[in-house]
Amino acid sequence: MIVVDKLCYRSGLRYVNAGEKFAFSMITLLFCVISRSLVIAGIVFAVNAYLTVKKGHIAAKQYIKLLAVPFTFLILSTLAIIVNISKVPLDAYAIPVGSFFITGSFQSLLFGIQLIATAMASVTCLYFLSLNTTMTDILGVLTKLHCPEILTELMLLIYRFIFVLMDTASAIMVSQKSRLGNRDFRTSVNSFGKMAAGLLLRAFKRSNALYDAMESRCYDGKIRVLEENHPARKKEIAAIAVFELILLVLTIWRSFL
């Protein structure tokens, strides 16, 4: 199992109604994207981190490691906004390099920080959902929202094959290492290419075997999965409504500034 899946099944919020968690994540994400406010981003980040770490019992170190991946990507992607190379120094900072300056303006710096904050807050919304809700529960919510069946079935099959391919790739890599397939760079590249080719062929074989197994069990075009029923609680619904109302007020207030 991948790390996110393991944490999901161990979460203290796993048995909370999936519809509540889905609505909370999506509506909060919508407010983050629409408002693009540092205040709202900070509130959303803090609330989601608290719910995931304290209520979901996800280790803080593990949560920080998961956040480090998108944060690193955002830092690298926003360098083009924050950092400029120009012959004229701008107002925020200016580092002379020969006849040029590595410089930036306060406006671009603020925009970069705002972009990073909004994106990280949005990521915490998705992490809250994925770290506390199983894939079958998410698909169940999408089905109730009348999402096209072909999409939900493809999501389920792709999700299933992630683990199948990871397990197959791991077995191939262990076999290659036991035969000194990674003793130098050239051999490692060759081994990786052979592993990828073998993985592709095995993926086709596994998919055919899966379809044959489904056909033998009277597959009629629909994949049916047993769902656990966790009723929604009035206190939780009220708390979500109050929180989203606060975000709505802040978003409207910011629009009039």
Q: Are 78 and 41 in contact (CB under 8 A)?
A: no
| Helices and strands counted in the chain (H then E) | 9, 3
User: Residue 243 and residue 223: Cα distance in Å, rounded?
Assistant: 36
Instruction: Give pLDDT tens digits for 95-132.
Output: 777 777 777 777 888 888 888 999 999 999 999 998 99
Nearest in space to 45 (alpha carbons), one of 70, 73, 13: 70
pLDDT, tens digit (0-9, with 9 covering 90-100), for 130-183? 899 888 888 888 888 888 888 888 888 888 777 778 778 888 888 888 887 777
Ordered by start, the domain boundaries in the chain are 2-133+230-256, 148-215
DSSP conformation class of 161: H
d(CA 32, CA 101) in angstroms, rounded, equals: 34
Tell me the C-alpha distance between 161 and 167, whole Å. 10
The number of residues making up the chain comes to 257
**How is residue 160 written in tokens?**
């299933």
pTM for the whole structure: 0.80
